[in-house]
Structure 1
Amino acid sequence: MATIQSFLMKKPNSAGLFPIAIRITKDRRSSYLFTGQYIESKFWDDKFKRVKKSHPNSKRLNSLVAKKIAEANDRLIDNENQNNSQSAKKIKKKIIGKTKMDFFEASKLFLSNLLKRKKFNQHYNQEKRLDIFKTFLGRKKLFFTDLDVTLLKDFKAYLLYDRKVAERTAINYLMLIRTIYNFARKEYHVDDGNYPFGKGKIQIKFPESEKIGLNREEVLLLETANNLTKAQLHAVYAWLTSFYFAGVRVADLIKLKWKDFKDGRLYYRMGKNRKLVSLVVPDKAKEILAYFAAQKTGKDDLVFPFLKGTDLKDEKRVATRVKTITRNLNRRLEIVGEKLGIEKKISMHIARHSFGNISGDKIPIQMLQKLYRHSSITTTVNYQSNFMHKETDDALEKVINF
């Protein structure tokens, strides 16, 4: 038989208040349920496990705690009557379905799961978005029952008009909120009667994004660029290497080692989907590799110098460095673009778009799928449609040229 007892947790929040929680114990294992209420430690009666009468809201708080314990006991009795042998953790999940759970408590658990899965970049980005959501709310607690359509519409308007973010970026924020809501529904049985997403509510629809790549002439300008600083030259070489290998993502590119090149081919595993890739090394790429080979001391060396001095076993540190390196490369590429008179914005990711733009409809879509390393050919079709304009251009010409 499991036992349920209220207690005051020992770790205070930023305001110095301590959370009132409920401990569920079964088979000598415990799980903890937060009530969402905080008090000063001097107001807790540890002997009787209740808020002292000296607290101005003692009656209401004790009533709330008693109600939570009663609901938990009801669940336990149902569990025992059904002869279910469940752990304290599973019992907790069932009980939470009856509580007024906090969205940001669920978000902490969601973020911690990202860290466990070593999704460091995703953790960093999502944590920043949640901080902006808190700034909009002006508070650090939000019960799921208060997370409604009106609130989300107001938040989207705040993102678009106050923070001046793009439509697609605003949708990313809403998608994160939906992901955490769904996480809480699945893992903690949060009641979805107030679920604000779906038909007639908040719908997640990404606007079409504009993908513009460099053309042949612009890539040629980069290939023949001179009078560049060493840092600018390295940025251009990184961009061209990505382009020559059909748009290798920057996070994969700067982690390439000399041992990844064998018998005139590049072998590497993509960081995004863990796919193993094998591509022939084009002659143009060989020239760039020869430039960096001068600093080579062993096959375990990195090809590019950007991560030099970084402990590659420290995955979190590497993820942080990759973000900084990418930002610096993009800044240098912009400067080079201005020098060369290229009006399009140049970034490391644009190397992938440039390959798509120049390939156009000249390569069979199945072969492009292999080159892009897409899991689904539908993804390739949708991606390449941004660069295949010949049929629509010809149709337009036939109509207006009379």
Structure 2
Amino acid sequence: MATVKILLKVDKTNASGEAPLYIRLIKDRKPKYISLGFSINPKHWNAEDKKVKKSHPNSQRLNNFIAAKIAEAEGVALTMETQEKGISTRKIKEAVLGKSAESFLKYADNYIYGLEKNGQVATAIKAKSIIAKLKAYLGSKDLLFDQLTVSFLKAYERYLKDTVKNSVNTIHLNLRVIRRIVNEAIREDLLPYEKNPYLKFKLKLEKTMKIYLTEEMLQKIEDLALRSGSRKFHHRNMYVFASYAGGLRISDILTLKWKHFDGERIILDTQKTGSTVSIKLPLKAKAILELYQDNSQTKQNPEDFVFPILKLDKNYTDPKVLYQSISSATTYTNKDIRAIGKEVGVIGNLSFHSSRHTWATRALKKGMRIEYVSKLMGHTSIKTTQIYAKIVSEELDKAMDIFNS
């Protein structure tokens, strides 16, 4: 039960010798203080009775005011504790002050701004688009943390599915970003842990089929006749290179510079996670790099991009410029990779990311230990890599079906 007391803070005595009066709320040994908005000289304060002495000219009026505020605080605390188990002193203080609940939308905007300031451009842009979608659903209304309930999340989930026509996994991404912002607010003590709506709301996720190429299909892409120097030619080479070079992501392939290649291996900090990877290149990957090496007597500029996709006249030290350039280049690359896949007879829509799946499944089939595959792919957890091990295991199970025929 919360206790409510009046307190004269003599440690905050001002130049006039007056100290401020506060209401002190204590619950679970956690105190919160509410200023009464006035100060008095300590000589006029009766510390034992918690009253202004009669020696003060306005003692009667001040004591009536203090008694009313104490009664109000006790009443609010009692009501809130009766209605909600585990209510915090912070919430009680806010109620006494008449302070409304924090705006989730305002907090989300500040959270996104923080991401931008920290250089997490991709994460910020993704979160901004997701919050923009939420704002469109709300119209002109605000969304307070107190209104972000299980019922609200269920209603918003239905809206994304039925009205926006989002897929299950797109809805999962939207609600996961909102959850991340809620968790950040909890860490900052803006929202009590027990008020987290996600404690009772489960996110839904559908398993997606990972497209990867067999050795034969990859060879067909390698052998496909393309005009040298064309955009599709470069995109094909990037795809094949990634399929041999540890399944590097397209963001790392696009920003790969000659300074990252020491003649034997690629050493770079990945764009997505910032983790450092060191990949010894097999002969086929080296052969692709040789296509782009300057054969003249001049030394290769270490700051030049290996693959001539990103324009050299842009300031890529600006995270927003880099993100937008990578995003645009990825769109064009995936368009060409899809077309190449159709030309060689790949079933399904091929994307550049399938080169990563292709490398992982091929590495495991060739006997590479899963922890090595995980390390080379820059995975933060081996659980992510185990998805590929499961794919290979399922293929082996299917292969054994030959004994049933």
**TM-score, length-scaled by structure 1:** 0.71
Asked if 1:386 is matched to 2:385, the reply is: no
The range that moved more, 274-283 or 124-133, is 274-283
The aligned amino acid for 2:302 is K
The aligned amino acid for 1:219 is L
Cα shift at 1:206: 3.3
The equivalent residue for 1:331 is: 335
Q: 1:2, 1:304 → 2: CA distance?
A: 69
Q: 1:390, 1:150 → 2: CA distance?
A: 43
SS at match of 2:277: strand
The equivalent residue for 1:366 is: 371
Check the 8 A contact 1:96/1:189 in 2, yes or no: no
SS at match of 1:238: helix
What is the 5 A alignment of 1:273-312?
273-294=273-294, 298-308=301-311, 309-312=313-316
Asked if 1:151 is matched to 2:152, the reply is: yes
SS at match of 2:267: strand
Q: 2:13, 2:128 → 1: CA distance?
A: 36
Check the 8 A contact 2:212/2:354 in 1, yes or no: yes
Q: 1:397, 1:132 → 2: CA distance?
A: 51
The aligned amino acid for 2:222 is E
Per the alignment, do residues 377 and 190 of structure 1 end up closer, same or farther by CA in structure 2, a change over 3 Å counting?
closer
Cα shift at 1:131: 0.8
Cα shift at 1:256: 1.0
Check the 8 A contact 2:278/2:376 in 1, yes or no: no
SS at match of 2:393: coil
Per the alignment, do residues 188 and 352 of structure 1 end up closer, same or farther by CA in structure 2, a change over 3 Å counting?
same
Check the 8 A contact 1:93/1:189 in 2, yes or no: no
Per the alignment, do residues 236 and 114 of structure 1 end up closer, same or farther by CA in structure 2, a change over 3 Å counting?
same
Where structure 1 has 5 or more consecutive residues not aligned to the other structure, the ranges are 5-23, 25-69, 75-91
The aligned amino acid for 2:390 is S
Q: How many residues align?
A: 316
Q: 1:249, 1:176 → 2: CA distance?
A: 22
The equivalent residue for 2:252 is: 252
Q: 2:360, 2:223 → 1: CA distance?
A: 21
Q: 2:231, 2:93 → 1: CA distance?
A: 58
Per the alignment, do residues 384 and 140 of structure 1 end up closer, same or farther by CA in structure 2, a change over 3 Å counting?
farther
**TM-score, length-scaled by structure 2:** 0.70
The equivalent residue for 2:356 is: 352
Per the alignment, do residues 227 and 255 of structure 1 end up closer, same or farther by CA in structure 2, a change over 3 Å counting?
closer
SS at match of 2:266: strand
Asked if 1:137 is matched to 2:158, the reply is: no
SS at match of 1:279: strand
The equivalent residue for 2:64 is: none
Check the 8 A contact 1:94/1:189 in 2, yes or no: no
CA RMSD after TM alignment? 3.1
Q: Deviations over 1:204-230 (max 9, x none)?
A: 353323212111121111101114470
Q: 1:96, 1:180 → 2: CA distance?
A: 22
SS at match of 2:185: helix
Cα shift at 1:2: 11
What is the 5 A alignment of 1:190-205?
190-191=191-192, 194-198=195-199, 201-205=200-204
Q: Deviations over 1:96-139 (max 9, x none)?
A: 79641111011011101211221101111110011111112223
Cα shift at 1:167: 1.2
Check the 8 A contact 2:257/2:303 in 1, yes or no: yes
Q: 1:115, 1:94 → 2: CA distance?
A: 34
Q: 1:123, 1:203 → 2: CA distance?
A: 24
Asked if 1:317 is matched to 2:321, the reply is: yes
Q: 2:13, 2:231 → 1: CA distance?
A: 64
Q: 2:401, 2:121 → 1: CA distance?
A: 47
Larger Rg over CA atoms: 2
Check the 8 A contact 2:243/2:356 in 1, yes or no: yes
Q: Deviations over 1:277-320 (max 9, x none)?
A: 21122221222212222498512211112222221211221011
Q: Percent identity?
A: 26
Check the 8 A contact 2:211/2:350 in 1, yes or no: no
